[in-house]
Amino acid sequence: MPKDAHHQAAEHHENAAKAHRTAAQHHEKGDHKTGREHSKQAHEHSTRAHEHSTQAHKKSEEKTRSAA
């Protein structure tokens, strides 16, 4: 399970980075409405990445404790 959660976290981090870059491009062009939409998407992906990462680390800690 931790590998799956880490993999999902990595995918969300990648998607967040893409959305941040796209948002920046739109803001530079003066298209602030679209830039804000991409910023919101980036935030959603970042939040999901954090959730998956937290889940993965909790599972890893549980495995470590049970093995001790």
pLDDT of the residue at 1? 45
Which of 57, 54, 49 lies closest to 12, judged by CA?
A: 49
Q: How many Cβ atoms from other residues are within 10 Å of residue 67's Cβ?
A: 6
Q: What is the mean pLDDT of residues 26-41?
A: 98
Residue type at position 14: E
Residue 2's pLDDT is what? 53
Average pLDDT over residues 18-36: 98
For the cut 70, the answer to whether the pLDDT of residue 41 exceeds it is yes
pLDDT at 11 over 80: yes
Determine the average pLDDT of the residues in 60-68. 71
